[in-house]
Amino acid sequence: MITAGDFRNGVTFELEGNVFKIIEFQHVKPGKGSAFVRTKLRNVITGATVDRTFNPTDKMELARIDRREMQYLYNDGESDIFMDMETYDQIPILPDLLGDSLKFVKENDVVTVLSYKGKIFGVEPPTFVELMVTKADPGVRGDTATNVTKNAVLETGAEVRVPLFINEGEMIRVDTRTGEYLERVK
């Protein structure tokens, strides 16, 4: 059990038959009246976000999210196939459960598969990935303004904004949480 007064970012709990993860929280102590906790929650199964306030003494049951390292193998046209690294079992996961979480993942990359009570609801890619730029417009000569970027397509098909000096065939590091270019990989 956890009380609303003990909320922290990333905590998962059960509420009204759903499982929520705390994205943001704020303890509010108004001049008049009693304190409350304002939160922004994400339903881990559906991905929907909601804003909700709680009394600091409200109690919720903690939800245990299972995380397993699995290797992404391939897409067979209907589902994405993952291999459990310990048992070598191959597990198909429907693409609508994954959303955009695989847009920076190549075949054979290791990801974290998330499940609740045996039901898989999502995949977390590695935080940073190194991918090759397969398509990038050439930089405009003389355009030296600060922080000028252009679109680039990566080997997974994802599009990111990169500096003008990045060319096709170069490897870059990308932050998968934000989709931002970090640096060129040598």
- Residue 97, SS3 per DSSP: helix
Q: What CATH architecture is 2-62?
A: Roll (2.30)
Residue 54 confidence (pLDDT): 92
| Superfamily name with CATH number, domain 66-124 | Nucleic acid-binding proteins (2.40.50.140)
Find out whether 154 and 160 touch, Cβ atoms under 8 Å. Answer: yes
What pLDDT score was predicted for residue 155? 92
Measured between alpha carbons, how far is 102 from 122 in angstroms, rounded to an integer? 10
Q: What is the CATH number of domain 128-185?
A: 2.40.50.140
Could you tell me the residue ranges of all domains in the chain?
A: 2-62, 66-124, 128-185
d(CA 34, CA 128): 43
Other beta carbons within 10 Å of 86: 9
Q: Model's pTM, two decimal places?
A: 0.72
Is 128-185 the same fold as 66-124?
A: yes
Mean pLDDT by 10 residues, the chain (186 residues): 86 88 88 90 84 91 90 90 92 82 89 87 88 86 71 91 90 91 90
At 122 the pLDDT is: 81
Give the C-alpha separation, 156 to 107, whole Å. 9
Q: Tokens 């001049």 — which residue?
A: 31
